Chain A
Amino acid sequence: MKNITKLGAVSALSLIIGAGSAFADTIKIGFIDPLSGPFASTGTNGLHQFEFAADYMVNDKGGVLDGDTFEIVSFDNKTSPKESLIQLQVAIDQGIRYIVQGNGSAVALALTEAVDKHNRRNPDSRVLFLNYAAVDPALTNEQCNFWHFRFDANADMKMDAMSDVIAKDESIKKVYVIGQDYSFGKAVADAAVSMLGEKRPDIEIVGNELHPIGKVKDFTPYSRKIVASGADAVITGNWGADMLGLGKSIIENGFTGPIYTYYGAGSGMTGAFGETGKGAIRLVSEGIVNPPPTEEASAYYQAFQAKYPDGNIDQTRISNTVGMLAEAIKAAGTADDVVAVATALEGMEYQTIWGSKVMMRAEDHQAIQNINILNHTDEGVTFPFDGSTFGVVSEQTVEMASADAPTTCEMQRP
C-alpha cells in the first residue's frame, strides 16, 4: 500500500514537472549589488540597465529557446561581502542559476569563492557568476574558476590603455595615484606605478595613497596634498560617492590638470560635476555612447531613456552580458545545465549593439574588447547623462585591448 502511495506521488510529481517544462519558463538572474548605503546609486542604475537589457534584448524579441524569458531578481548586498554570501544563498534557494554582480571586487572575490565551493558540493544546483564590473585582476588570474566570467576589462587592461594615453602626453611629468583602501584600489595603484614606469620612466609618481572606502566625509586634506605635490595628472580608481567627493574637491581646491578615472561618470556624477569637471575628468571605459556608434545603439539608448528619463546607460557591458548569456543559452540549447552554458560562453565572439566586438577568452574567462578614453564635456554630446547637458565623449580607442595579456589562471573544468 505504502509503495503504491509512493509510486502515485512520484508519478504525480513527474507529471507536474513534465507539464511545467512544456510551457515557456522564466530564467531568473540574481542581481546582487548595493541598493542601499553610500553606493546605492551605482547599484540601482546597474539594476535598471539589467532590467532594461533583459526586456529589450531578450523578452521583447520572443525570449530564448522555447520563448523562455529573462527575469532579473534583485538582492541588496550593501556592498558587504558577508551580506553578499547570505544573499547568494537566498538566491540559490530560490532556484536562481545565474548571478550577476559588479560593484566591489571584495564582494566579487567572496562570491566567486562561494560559488566555486557551492558548485563542487552541489552538482545539481550549480550556478554561474557573471561579473559585469568587478575588475580586480585576481578574479581572472590566481582566483579564477570555471564558473566566473568577467564582461568588463580588468583593472590592468584599463590601466594599460590609460597609461598609453598618459605616456603620449609629453606635458605630464608628475602623476598622483589615489584610491580606495581595498583590493581594487591597490590593484589600480600597483598597475599605474609599474606600467607608467615601463612606458615613461621619466614620469615621477609624486603620491601613491589609499583612503578608507565609503567613509571619507571631506576630501580636502587629500586634495591639498595633491596640489602641493605639483602633480600634472591624477589617477584614481574611486567610484560612487568617493569618486564625486574626490573629484570635486581636487578641482575646487585649485588642481587644473586631467583626472584619469575608472568610474568618473554616470549615477548622478556627471550631472554633479557639470561645468566644474569640464576638461578635467577623463574616463577609461569599454563603451561609447557619444558620438553614437550605431543606429541600433541609438535606438536602444532612446528606448532606455523613454523608460528611465533620469537614467543613463553608463555600463554598455551590461547589455553585452545579457546578450552573450542569451546567445550561450541558445547555443547550449538549455538554461538548466550551466556547464553547457558556460562552455558555450567560452571563446564566444559577440557582435555588440555598440558596434564593437567582444571575445570571451577561454583560458581565463576574461572579455577582450575595445577600451576607450572618454572625456567629460558638454560639446558634441548626443546622449547626456543624469538629465544634464554633460556627457562623456570618446577621445581615443585602443582596439581589442590587451588581447594577448598573459594570465596565471589554471582553469579547472568540470
Chain B
Amino acid sequence: MDLILVNLIDGLVTGLLLFMLSAGLTLIFSMMGVLNFAHASFYMLGAYFAYSISLALGFWMGLLVAPLIVGLAGAAVERYGLRRVHQYGHVPELIFTFGLALLIEELVQFVWGKNQMAYSVPDVLNFTAFAISGNSIPAYKIFMIFISVGIFIGLLYVLTKTRVGMIIQAALSYPRTVEALGHNVPLIFMGVFGVGTALAGVAGVIAGPVLGTFPGMAFVLGSIVFVTIVIGGLGSLWGALFASLLIGWMTTFAKAYNIEMSNILNGLGIATPENLDESLFRDFWSLTSPQIADILPYILMVLILIFRPAGLFGKRSS
C-alpha cells in the first residue's frame, strides 16, 4: 500500500516531465501543422546550457537563463529556418527538423564532448523531503512537481484568459482571418515556437541532474514525446497532460511490480503448457511487466490510432 503511494509520486514526476516536453510540441503542431523532430534536441540543449551556466553562476541562474537561450534559439530556427522552408510544404519542413535534430546532437558532442556531464542537483535541494516506509522521496522531485504544475497553470491561464491567448487560439484555427484583422501572424508563430522550445528547455534543465546529461538524452526521450501527443490528441494541451500522466504511471507501475504473463493468462483461465521449454510461446509465457513496460505506451498508441484516430482529447475529425 505504501509502495503504491511512492509509485504514484514517481509516476507523477515522470509524467509531468513528459508533459513539459509534449506541451510545447503539441502547441507547435497545432499552430504550424509541423511535427518538430528536433523538439527533444531543445530539451537536451536546455540541460547542457544550464550545466554550463551552473558552473559559473549556480543552478538557479541556469534554471532562469538556459530556457531563455533555448527559446531564443527556437525562435531563430523558426524565423530563419522553418519559415523559409514552409513555402515548400510539409515534407521539407519535416526533413528540416529531422536534420536539425542530428545537427544539434553533433554540435553538443563537438562542444561538450561525449561524456556524461557532472550536472547535479543543487545542494539546497539535495535532501530527503520525506520517507514513506523506508522509500525516501528526494526534495528535488517535489521541486520538479511544483515547477511543472506551475508551468501548466501558467500556460492554461495565458491561453484561455488573456488577450494574447485568444489571438493565439484564433490564429490556430483561422490564421487568414486573424491576419486580416491586423495581427502579425508570423510573429505569433515565431513566439509560439520560441515558447514551445523554451518549455522543452525547462524540462531539460530540471531533468538533466536526475536523468543524466549526455548526448544520447534527446534520443532516449525523443520518440516517447511523439507517442504522448498522438495519444493525447494532436494540438490539445489537456490531452498532452492526460497522456503524459497516463504514460508516467503506466510505465512506473509496470516496472515496479513484477507481474508475470503466466499469472495473467492463468487468471484468464488458460493453463500453462506442461512442457514450457518446448512450447512455441515460451517467450510469451515467461514475459514480465518490467520487460514490456517501455513498449506499453506504443501499444496504447496503436490502439488509440485504431479506435480513436484523433487521440483522446483531439478535436480534429479525420
Residues of A within 8 A of B (CB): 35-41, 43-45, 181, 209-212, 214-218, 220-222, 224-225, 227-228, 241, 244-245, 248-249, 252-254, 267-269, 271-272, 274, 276, 310, 386, 388
Q: Is the CB of A268 within 8 A of B135?
A: no
**Interface CB pairs A-B, < 8 A, 6:** A38-B216, A41-B214, A224-B256, A249-B210, A271-B118, A274-B120
Given contacts A248-B210, A252-B210, A276-B120, contact A310 B115 (CB under 8 A): yes
Seed contacts A249-B210, A386-B115; 18 additional CB < 8 Å A-B pairs: A38-B220, A40-B109, A41-B114, A41-B115, A45-B115, A209-B290, A222-B290, A224-B3, A224-B6, A224-B135, A224-B256, A225-B256, A227-B134, A244-B116, A267-B115, A271-B118, A272-B118, A272-B212
- B222-265 CB contact bits vs A (8 Å, 1 = yes)? 00100000000000000000000000000111011010000000
Q: Is the CB of A386 within 8 A of B135?
A: no
Output the nearest chain A residue to B133 by Cβ-Cβ distance.
A228
Q: Is the CB of A228 within 8 A of B115?
A: no
CB distance from A209 to the nearest CB of B (A): 6
B10 touches which of A37, A44, A209, A224 (Cβ 8 Å): A224
A272 touches which of B114, B116, B253 (Cβ 8 Å): B116
Output the nearest chain B residue to A390 by Cβ-Cβ distance.
B118
- B112-140 CB contact bits vs A (8 Å, 1 = yes)? 01111111110000001001001110101
Given contacts A241-B116, A272-B117, contact A254 B212 (CB under 8 A): no
Q: Does B201 contact A (CB under 8 A)?
A: no
CB distance from A289 to the nearest CB of B (A): 17
Q: Which 4 A-B pairs have the closest CB atoms?
A: A268-B115, A268-B116, A254-B136, A38-B216
A214–B212 CA distance with the chains assembled, in angstroms: 13
Q: Which residues of A contact B115 (CB under 8 A)?
A: 41, 45, 267-268, 271, 310, 386
Q: Is the CB of A212 within 8 A of B291?
A: yes
B residues 3-60 in Cβ contact with A at 8 Å: 3, 6-7, 10, 13-14
A215–B217 CA distance with the chains assembled, in angstroms: 10
Output the nearest chain A residue to B215 by Cβ-Cβ distance.
A40
Q: Which residues of B contact A228 (CB under 8 A)?
A: 3, 134-135
Q: Is the CB of A209 within 8 A of B258?
A: yes
Q: Which residues of B contact A272 (CB under 8 A)?
A: 116-120, 212
Q: Is the CB of A220 within 8 A of B118?
A: no
A225–B3 CA distance with the chains assembled, in angstroms: 9
Output the nearest chain A residue to B128 by Cβ-Cβ distance.
A254
Q: Which residues of B contact A216 (CB under 8 A)?
A: 294
Q: Is the CB of B256 within 8 A of A218?
A: no
Q: Is the CB of B138 within 8 A of A252?
A: yes
A252–B219 CA distance with the chains assembled, in angstroms: 24
Output the nearest chain A residue to B295 by Cβ-Cβ distance.
A212
CB distance from A241 to the nearest CB of B (A): 6
CB distance from A240 to the nearest CB of B (A): 9
Q: Which residues of A contact B140 (CB under 8 A)?
A: 252
Q: Is the CB of B216 within 8 A of A37?
A: yes
Given contacts A38-B220, A209-B290, A241-B116, contact A253 B138 (CB under 8 A): yes
Q: Which residues of B contact A271 (CB under 8 A)?
A: 115-116, 118
Q: Does B211 contact A (CB under 8 A)?
A: yes
A211–B295 CA distance with the chains assembled, in angstroms: 12
Q: Is the CB of B117 within 8 A of A181?
A: no
Output the nearest chain B residue to A45 by Cβ-Cβ distance.
B115
Q: Is the CB of A388 within 8 A of B118?
A: yes
A43–B215 CA distance with the chains assembled, in angstroms: 13
Q: Is the CB of A218 within 8 A of B211?
A: yes
Output the nearest chain A residue to B136 by Cβ-Cβ distance.
A254
Output the nearest chain A residue to B18 by Cβ-Cβ distance.
A217
Q: Does B221 contact A (CB under 8 A)?
A: yes
A241 touches which of B135, B214, B221, B252 (Cβ 8 Å): B214
Q: Is the CB of B116 within 8 A of A41?
A: yes
A310–B140 CA distance with the chains assembled, in angstroms: 29
Q: Which residues of B contact A388 (CB under 8 A)?
A: 118
Q: Which residues of B contact A245 (CB under 8 A)?
A: 211-212
Q: Which residues of B contact A209 (CB under 8 A)?
A: 258, 288, 290
A245–B216 CA distance with the chains assembled, in angstroms: 13
Q: Is the CB of A222 within 8 A of B114?
A: no
Output the nearest chain B residue to A388 by Cβ-Cβ distance.
B118
Q: Which residues of B contact A224 (CB under 8 A)?
A: 3, 6-7, 10, 135, 256
Scoring A37, A211, A272 by chain B CB atoms within 10 A of each residue's CB, the highest score goes to A272
A227–B256 CA distance with the chains assembled, in angstroms: 11
Q: Is the CB of B10 within 8 A of A221?
A: yes
A254 touches which of B3, B131, B251 (Cβ 8 Å): B131
Given contacts A210-B291, A254-B128, A254-B136, contact A38 B214 (CB under 8 A): yes
A268–B115 CA distance with the chains assembled, in angstroms: 5
Q: Is the CB of A241 within 8 A of B118?
A: no
A225–B224 CA distance with the chains assembled, in angstroms: 24
A310 touches which of B113, B128, B294 (Cβ 8 Å): B113
Q: Which residues of A contact B293 (CB under 8 A)?
A: 221
Q: Which residues of B contact A221 (CB under 8 A)?
A: 7, 10, 251-253, 255-256, 290, 293
Q: Is the CB of A241 within 8 A of B212?
A: yes
A227–B133 CA distance with the chains assembled, in angstroms: 10
A386–B213 CA distance with the chains assembled, in angstroms: 14
Q: Is the CB of B120 within 8 A of A218?
A: no
Given contacts A224-B10, A272-B116, contact A181 B220 (CB under 8 A): no
Q: Which residues of A contact B136 (CB under 8 A)?
A: 227, 253-254
A181–B113 CA distance with the chains assembled, in angstroms: 28
CB distance from B21 to the nearest CB of A (A): 11
Output the nearest chain A residue to B134 by Cβ-Cβ distance.
A227
A28–B253 CA distance with the chains assembled, in angstroms: 51
A225–B135 CA distance with the chains assembled, in angstroms: 9
CB distance from A274 to the nearest CB of B (A): 6
A39–B224 CA distance with the chains assembled, in angstroms: 20
Q: Which residues of A contact B14 (CB under 8 A)?
A: 217-218, 220
A237–B156 CA distance with the chains assembled, in angstroms: 45
Q: Which residues of B contact A220 (CB under 8 A)?
A: 10, 13-14, 252
Output the nearest chain A residue to B216 by Cβ-Cβ distance.
A38
B residues 99-118 in Cβ contact with A at 8 Å: 105, 109, 113-118
